[in-house]
Amino acid sequence: MKSTHKRLYLFTIIVLAIILSCGPSSGTATPISASATPGAGQIEDPTATATSTQIPPPENTATSTTAPPTATIVPTSEPPTFTVSVNTNCRTGPGAVANFPIVGSILIGEVGDVVGIGPDDEHAIMNNLDAAGTCWAWLFYATRAGDWSGLPVIPIPPLPPASIGGIFWHDLCAVPFGPPPPNPPEGCIDFGGFSYGANGILESGEPGIQGVTLHLGSGACPSTGLETAITDANGLYSFSPQPAGTYCVSITPLADGNDLVLIPGGFSFPSAGGVSQTVTVTTLAGVDVTDVNFGWDFQFLP
């Protein structure tokens, strides 16, 4: 029995010795560096902190193509035009008859092409339908069409001046000496009782009278003091251009040395006889008046 116990005890010791011989070595194990690259058969330490190495993203080697810009479609507006319900004059500027002369018109059924608008928005500056250039049309009878929003505002032009002139002519009436003829001779009229005188009509071949002085005044007649003019070799005279308005032209045969030229004789036009003659004239801007005429019938000349 004791022998059995001894064998069992010995067997236990041998087993323990074998187990101890297979255990870990008593030396210090060399740790694996966390930064070391594991070799074949090595296992990385999961607790080690790996060195961070930034890897750049792959280069985009594709060629960048810029798309062409998309065209913007802007709706076009109709050009500014107008029509009228009443035939309308077209002038060199806005305003009343006495201000700017008529240079064209726009009639019912015609279309005016507008290039500008007046400061009062009541006049369109349009291409003249009757001549070159532009003119101003009143929009009172107009119907507008198209886009007027971008039209330039055209300032009112200055009023162009106008001159006044005419002819002082010898009104021929050849009455033969002796008993008066029963009928007025050519160029004459009967004032009654076979008293003949010049007819007051400017006829072909009748000459002008040189050296006659005339006066111009501002406003309706009688008025003087603005300017004087003297007739030339053809009997023509003209005052310097004046702003549009009303003026008075006058002539006195017994003043300004006119008596040395005209006496004896008398007026035949604008009215027969009289000590002096006056004519009230109203001018338009830029429109010269050239027919303020005076006829003279010499007493002892044809």
Amino acid at 213: T
pLDDT for 81 equals 98
pTM reported for the whole predicted model: 0.59
165-298: CATH homologous superfamily? Immunoglobulins (2.60.40.10)
pLDDT band at residue 44 using 50, 70 and 90 as cut-offs: very low
Residue given tokens 């913007």 in the structure block: 72
Domain ranges of the chain: 81-145, 165-298
The tens digit of pLDDT for each residue in 175-204 reads 877 777 888 888 999 888 778 899 999 999
Q: Strand order in 265-269's β-sheet? A: 236-238, 165-170, 294-298, 265-269
For residue 161, CA distances in Å to 137, 241, 242 come to: 21, 5, 5
pLDDT band at residue 281 using 50, 70 and 90 as cut-offs: very high
The tens digit of pLDDT for each residue in 244-279 reads 899 999 999 999 999 999 999 999 999 998 899 999
- 98-115: average pLDDT: 91
Residue 199 has which token pair? 């007819």
Q: Tell me: domain 81-145, CATH 2.30.30.40, correct?
A: yes
